[in-house]
């Protein structure tokens, strides 16, 4: 063991300890999956300014050759996550994939290309109507619209009362999305209008099956990560063929629902990176 292996934290639940043990026993059959914003990158007022923690790429590059794959699963477009993460062209990251737009897009480090479906027509319709809806409900001041290609998101973090603005917009944006065949995905002071049928849980479960993995780790920080948590919980309760898994919460007082279901909680991206580095060191 290396000198840093003592820093690998112990999960607080039996299922989490079993999941970590499975990764340590057969790392070449393990999938390590991570959210981006709030997990590998700090949450910032302007999402365009978000960047991976400085230690993230070195930790991932040390870990990736030792496991079956590392998957970054994000609501962002795959290409944006690759750019903001600094993942392209890094030696050691050949086993990395980015599943963007909740798995609808895929970037593979080996090819360096993004595979994506045609945009849902409802996204264009919502994009056109959204400014008028925000104005109608007096929410245009302090909110910010993020263009995401396959989706569009409204951030309230800059509003005078961010939580009040978030709650006031949930109903109207839900109605707008439904009119155009979309759904609303709530997050940390953000409401994303996107096509149905794909979430982080579906993306993670499909990828674990694709690789025939024997264990899985998932780390996230937001409401959108609950679906991935549920997927891991389902995988590890699958009877004799169940797959051990470890659920890590990148600590946030804003999303207690995630912390309550986690096997291990750490205080934000810096601690997630430290966990990844310690895991690589242990392996």
The total number of residues shown for the chain amounts to 283
Known catalytic residue: 46? no
The phi and psi torsions of 182 (rounded to 5 degrees) equal -110, 175
Q: How far apart are CA 19 and CA 263, in angstroms?
A: 9
CB-based contacts of 34, cutoff 8 Å, min separation 6: 40, 70, 71, 72, 73, 218, 219, 220, 272
CA distances from 181 to 102, 121, 130, 280 (A): 17, 9, 15, 43
- Closest by CA position to 84, among listed 148, 144, 154, 145: 148
Residue 189 near residue 156 (C-beta atoms within 8 A):
yes
Give the pair of three-digit tokens for residue 244: 């051990």
Q: Check 35, 221, 225, 263 and give the catalytic one.
A: 35
- Closest by CA position to 15, among listed 244, 261, 257: 244
CB-based contacts of 158, cutoff 8 Å, min separation 6: 45, 142, 143, 144
- Closest by CA position to 67, among listed 95, 107, 87: 95
CA torsion angle 249 252 256 261 (round to 10) = 0
Mind telling me the catalytic residues? 35
């Amino acid at each position: 063991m290396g000198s840093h292996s003592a820093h690998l934290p112990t999960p607080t639940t039996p299922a989490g300890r079993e999941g970590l043990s499975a990764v340590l026993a057969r790392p070449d059959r393990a999938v390590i999956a991570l959210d981006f914003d709030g997990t590998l990158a700090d949450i910032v007022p302007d999402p365009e300014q978000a960047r991976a923690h400085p230690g993230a790429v070195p930790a991932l590059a040390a870990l990736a050759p030792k496991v079956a794959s590392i998957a970054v699963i994000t609501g962002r477009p795959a290409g944006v996550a690759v750019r903001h993460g600094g993942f392209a062209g890094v030696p050691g990251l050949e086993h990395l994939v980015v599943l963007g737009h909740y798995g609808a897009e895929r970037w593979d480090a080996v090819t360096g290309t993004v595979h994506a479906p045609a945009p849902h027509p409802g996204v264009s319709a919502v994009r056109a109507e959204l400014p008028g809806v925000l104005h109608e409900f007096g929410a245009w001041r302090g909110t910010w619209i993020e263009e995401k290609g396959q989706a569009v998101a409204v951030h309230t973090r800059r509003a005078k009362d961010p939580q009040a603005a978030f709650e006031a917009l949930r109903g109207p944006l839900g109605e707008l999305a439904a009119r155009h065949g979309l759904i609303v995905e709530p997050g940390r002071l953000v409401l994303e209008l996107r096509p149905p049928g794909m979430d982080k849980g579906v993306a993670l479960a499909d990828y674990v099956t694709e690789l025939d993995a024997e264990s899985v780790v998932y780390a996230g920080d937001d409401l959108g990560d609950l679906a991935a948590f549920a997927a891991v919980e389902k995988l590890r309760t699958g009877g004799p063929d169940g797959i051990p898994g470890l659920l890590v919460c990148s600590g946030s007082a804003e999303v207690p629902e995630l912390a309550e279901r986690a096997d291990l909680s750490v205080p934000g991206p810096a601690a997630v990176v430290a966990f990844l580095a310690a895991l690589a060191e242990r392996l």
